[in-house]
Amino acid sequence: MPEIWLSYGPTEVVLDIKAENLEREVISSGKTLSGPEIASKLETVDLTKPTEIVILESTRAVHSVVSSLLAACEQKAITKPKILVERSNLHLAKNMFSDPSITVSEFDNTQLTNTNLMFVGEAGFDGLFGFDTVSTKLLRKFGREQMLEAYEKRNGSLPHPGEEVQATEVAKKFTDGFEISALEVAANSSGVVDIASGHPSSTISISKSLLSSATNEIGKHRVLFVSTGKESSNETLDKSLSALWNTAGAVKEEGFAILLAECKNGLGSDALHQFVEGRMTLDRLKSPAKYLDGMENLLFLTELQKQFKIGIVSVLPNFYTKDKLGMMPFGGTKESLDYVLKTYGERQKAVIVSDGARVLLR
């Protein structure tokens, strides 16, 4: 019996599945960079000028790249940049950078006009923008009015991860107005695949490397088990849903996709909160007067549920997942697998996606 371990919050859970029920296991691919290769990619970054590094997402890949930058400073006897993170990630960053010579502080959201800022993030896929980059992260964080424009430019009511869409131009235009720099990291479960440095409106070019390493042509299947593969991607339901958008193209009509996402920090968006509390209707998603955080994910979820069933293994209350969002909740991987075999037959095969946040299935 194959023993497959899948990411679930900060830990991993096992999916005990018989060989005859395993269609295939999909993982992210692509050649990863060695330590010296990462250092070589970073040689174009000017470390002599005052710099404050803003970490937008705490992942192993981001930590690896920032650590390489700090090591370069030490080798060249240059003052190490200050590390800035949001309050919610402050404890993680302090654990990552325990060296007393490194200053880790909370990022003040009013500092966006500071030209010393270098934003570091791991690139990914996004249902609205096609790609999740430093530009789109900054737009979501600081450009609420412009987010309505991006939402209005969406390509229909279904997610389009890994595609070039009009909404991306809104993010580029937004970041063009700031004299800041960025480091974009493309990664998979094994390490760093590529790095791009420069202004956020140009580092979006990293999406080509990400697309090349992440795309898997596997056809359509009846049952998929999807783990995000990234701890930062399954902290909330809103963040974890991108793994579903990335894999939806491989689910047959009337098939079944089961998402493994702990969601320890809850729903994670204003739109999801207002909807489960009965303060927003689905009709409002079509043409809203103002944008609410996570509005597109609620729209994508309701539209995809017209094509196939969606289950979830999480700590969220059934009242949210089942009663309000129409998802099928499970208490664990065994319960979800038992349901699949009982519903679709003992010989039903399933595709296992262990790195849903970093793959794109076609």
35-211 matches 3-27+216-361 in CATH topology: no
Domain ranges of the chain: 3-27+216-361, 35-211
Give the separation between CA 228 and CA 232, rounded to whole angstroms: 9
Which of residues 114 and 339 earns the better pLDDT score? 339
Three-class SS state of 329: strand
pTM for the predicted model, two decimal places: 0.92
At 143-170, the pLDDT tens digits run 988 999 999 999 899 999 999 999 999 9
- pLDDT exceeds cutoff 90 at 30: no
Give the separation between CA 195 and CA 104, rounded to whole angstroms: 23
Residue 361 — very low, low, confident or very high, per pLDDT cuts 50/70/90?
A: very high
Specify the pLDDT at position 243: 96
Most confident of 25-39, 76-90, 306-320: 306-320
Sequence-ordered strand ranges (E) for 136-292:
181-188, 191-198, 215-216, 221-227, 251-260
- Ranges 66-80, 120-134, 160-174: which has the least confidence: 66-80
CA angle 354, 357, 360 (to 5 degrees): 90
Residues 29-58: what's their mean pLDDT? 89
Largest Cα span, the chain: 65
Residues 204-209: what's their mean pLDDT? 89
The CATH number of the domain covering residues in 3-27+216-361: 3.90.226.30
Residue 1 — very low, low, confident or very high, per pLDDT cuts 50/70/90?
A: low
CATH superfamily for 35-211 is: LarA, N-terminal domain (3.40.50.11440)
Which residues are bridge partners to 183 per DSSP?
120, 197
Residues 17-21: what's their mean pLDDT? 94
- Ranges 89-98, 206-215, 218-227, 323-332: which has the least confidence: 89-98
